[in-house]
Structure 1
Amino acid sequence: MGYRRYWHAPGPRTVFMESLLVSTLVVAIAEIGDKTQLLAIILATRFKKPIPIIMGILVATLANHALAATAGYWVADFLSGAWFRWAIAVSFIAMAAWALIPDKADDEEGDAAGRYGVFLTTTIAFFLVEMGDKTQIATVALGAKFQSIALVAAGTTLGMMLANVPAVYLGEAATKVVPLKYVRIGAAVIFLALGVWGIAEASGLLK
């Protein structure tokens, strides 16, 4: 019973779809212009081997976001209550402001590549760079909100891949299709909407 609790949708089909789709959308938009996407461009430009880079991103993101969703799940499980719902809502609003701040890839990540092979270099670099990143913190908040480790981790990982696979194949051109300024504004609007939604729930307006 405990296993089912962790790895299956906590409610009906609508909750299943909401958990997966919201997680995917939030991270896919927030990831555009993020430092991990810029890292993907650096690695793609340097190694010109898209498949091992993409596999490295996938493995690193699955590991990182599974841990983040688990942390969110347990925090919500032990700290349930109206005040905690308010804290989650406020965290989304804070991320809305954070999303407006441009990220820059650290040149050290790109320079360190090549010692351990493309796949392993990408996996290690992405896992470390994602620590404390806005998309990881969003995954923690989503895990707390939706109480589903598998769906949130799957959704946020899918969002990361939707943003980073084109970046790997198209390089810098992928981030010039839409100006990053407007992408960051879009991400901020989504985070803000989730925060307002959470406040409405905590206030009892959506009963």
Structure 2
Amino acid sequence: MDQAFLISTGAVALAEIGDKTQLLSLVLAARYRKPIPIILGVLAATLINHAGAGALGTWLGSILTPTVMRWALAASFLGMGLWILVPDKLDEGEANTNRSHLGVFGTTVITFFLAEMGDKTQIATVALAARFHDFFGVVAGTTLGMMIANVPAIVLGDRFAHRLPTKVVHGIAAVMFVVLGALALFGVGV
């Protein structure tokens, strides 16, 4: 399998545990109790969001000089490693799922897309696409990572989410991003 795909999948799946969009998935699942349209809505919102982030990352990777890219990637991966250690909260505005005129699917797409804007996993998608110069591998990987983290939250709800050792998972994700940052800093290919 492709390195960009595998690393993107693992990094985002780990980073998403306990993230505000995973919390939003729990809210949507509890409110609507219709997992299929919620899962499809999360998939659609993630594909749209991460395609834009992947395109931006790929573009940045093509215009920045190798030295600037190395430093930018090192800083962004190290920053992501630290940011992941900060617990996420779902604001009231982000948790507002009262868009009943859109249906469950439409409500999920809109609320999930908006919550993902500027989120850790969107920023990670930009950095990973810039690092690997592989739009499709990164977007497919980050999207799969989002689904790996969110589908169990949607299907199993609170029973599953509270049993995960969130601090341990975030620690592993933070180490992954710090290692990626160090590798980028020293110009080592992954």
Q: Say whether the fold is shared (TM-score over 0.5).
A: yes
Give the aligned partner of residue 95 of structure 1: 80
Shift of 1:88: 0.7
Consecutive unaligned residues of structure 2, counting only runs of 5 or more, are: none
Matched, 1:172 2:138: no
Give the aligned partner of residue 8 of structure 1: none
The one of 83, 91, 94 aligned to 1:106: 91
Give the aligned partner of residue 51 of structure 2: 66
SS at match of 1:117: helix
Shift of 1:192: 0.7
Matched, 1:26 2:11: yes
Tell whether the 8 Å contact from 2:50 to 2:125 is kept in structure 1 after alignment: yes
Matched, 1:150 2:136: yes
Q: How does 1:1-207 map to 2 (within 5 A)?
A: 17-115=2-100, 116-201=102-187
Shift of 1:80: 2.4
CA distance in 1, matches of 2:105, 2:94: 14
SS at match of 2:87: coil
Shift of 1:176: 2.1
CA distance in 2, matches of 1:94, 1:40: 25
> How many equivalent pairs are there?
188
Q: Deviations over 1:131-184 (max 9, x none)?
A: 100100000000000111111100000000000000001112222222211121
Spell out structure 1 runs of 4+ moving beyond 6 A: none
Task: Give the % identical residues.
Answer: 53
CA distance in 2, matches of 1:145, 1:109: 30
Tell whether the 8 Å contact from 1:20 to 1:155 is kept in structure 2 after alignment: yes
Q: Deviations over 1:46-95 (max 9, x none)?
A: 11000000000000000000110100010111112212211111110011
From the CA coordinates, give the structure whose radius of gyration is larger: 1
Q: Deviations over 1:9-65 (max 9, x none)?
A: xxxxxxx61011000000000000000000000000111000000000000000000
Consecutive unaligned residues of structure 1, counting only runs of 5 or more, are: 1-15
When normalised by structure 2's length, the TM-score is: 0.94
Tell whether the 8 Å contact from 2:94 to 2:114 is kept in structure 1 after alignment: no
